[in-house]
Amino acid sequence: MTDVTALEARIARLEHELAIQQDIEQIRKVQYTYGYFIDKSQYNEVVDLFSDEGEVWFLGGIYRGKAGVRRLYIERFQGTFTQGHNGPRYGWLLDHPQLQMVIDVAPDRRTATVRGRSMMQAGLHESAEGAQRAWWEGGIYDNRYVREDGVWKIARLGYFPFWHGTFADGWAKTPIDYIPFTKTLYPEDPLGPDAFVEPTPRLWPATDIVPFPYPHPVTGKPIAIDNSRAREGFKD
């Protein structure tokens, strides 16, 4: 290999590494913006973050394609939380901080994985219309991204809400299956998912590990998952 050939190869490698770092920043921007949109119930804008073939995994259900994504965010969430209004409503708190994001871009720069978490504060003020409530929630994201025409979009928003607790009592007294999972698919349930997540996730006090989409960062080996004791207190 001549000096010129070696230099060309080095430049190409550096350009590729720089492009991946730029991809990571663009993906982080999309993911963080998702959190800001959800905070203020900007559900129309949330839907626009997704690929046409995108999907959402939420409370044991899979909502597929733009039609499924719209069904969840606009028909269900917007209809329930803001009475059909695209944007915040008086007295409604729904903060979704986006935390601990680990972003991995594939070598071909066409796809990426994102693992992260949200620790949510939510509730309705006593002066607002509706039943006053306040709760905490925490969950893990296991997301997939796709680059289409140079733009990174969400291919899968996989949110696994692990724990809930009222502001007054905390999470130690959360009832089993506090948030019921959907049992009926679309179209039998007009707001239901297109399919169920397998295996079926469980909420706190279950403590399952969501599988990591990347290997151990030091050993390079797949990260072992042992959920054998994660649900031992449940009586199915």
pLDDT digits 0-9 by tens, 54-71: 999 999 999 999 999 999
Domain assignment of residue 127, yes or no: yes
Residue 107 reports pLDDT greater than 90:
yes
For residue 236, the model assigns a pLDDT of: 62
Domain total of the chain: 1
Domain assignment of residue 186, yes or no: yes
Which of 15, 128, 154 lies closest to 72, judged by CA?
A: 154
Domain assignment of residue 49, yes or no: yes
Which range of residues forms the domain containing residue 77? Answer: 3-196
Q: Are 136 and 120 a contacting pair, CB within 8 Å?
A: yes
Average pLDDT, the chain: 94
CATH code at 147? 3.10.450.50
Domain assignment of residue 86, yes or no: yes
In the chain, the amino acid numbered 34 is Y
Domain assignment of residue 221, yes or no: no
Mean pLDDT of 2-17: 88
Q: Are 20 and 27 a contacting pair, CB within 8 Å?
A: no
Reading phi first (left if > 0) and then psi (alpha if -120 to 50, else beta), residue 56 is in beta
Domain assignment of residue 201, yes or no: no
DSSP category for residue 200: P
Q: Against a cut of 0.75, is the pTM above it?
A: yes
For residue 39, the model assigns a pLDDT of: 96
For residue 73, the model assigns a pLDDT of: 98
Mean pLDDT of 135-151: 96
Domain assignment of residue 57, yes or no: yes
For residue 88, the model assigns a pLDDT of: 96
Domain assignment of residue 212, yes or no: no
User: DSSP strand E in 16-174: where?
Assistant: 50-58, 61-64, 92-95, 98-105, 111-124, 133-148, 151-166
Mean pLDDT is lowest, of 1-10, 25-34, 143-152, 204-213, for 1-10
CA separation for the pair 28, 107 (Å, rounded): 18
CA separation for the pair 105, 136 (Å, rounded): 32
Reading phi first (left if > 0) and then psi (alpha if -120 to 50, else beta), residue 226 is in beta
Rounded to 5 degrees, what are φ and ψ at 188? -55, -45
